[in-house]
Amino acid sequence: MPTGFIGSRLVSLLSSNNYKVTGLSRKKLSNKENVKYVQADVFDKNILSQSMNGIEVVYYLLHSMEGSKSEWQKFAQREKVQSQNFLEAATKAGVKRIIYLGGLVNDSLDLSPHMKSRKDVGCTSFWKYHYN
pTM of the model: 0.74
For residue range 25-84, list pLDDT tens digits in order: 888 999 999 999 999 988 898 899 999 999 999 998 876 655 566 665 677 778 788 888
Q: What confidence tier does 22 reach under pLDDT thresholds 50, 70, 90?
A: very high
Decide: 44 and 58 in contact? Cβ < 8 Å. Answer: no
Q: Is the pLDDT confidence value at 3 over 70?
A: no
What average pLDDT score do residues 83-92 get?
89
DSSP string, 22-75: EEEESS----BTTEEEEE--TT-HHHHHHHHTT--EEEE------S-GGGGGGH
Q: What is the pLDDT of residue 84?
A: 86
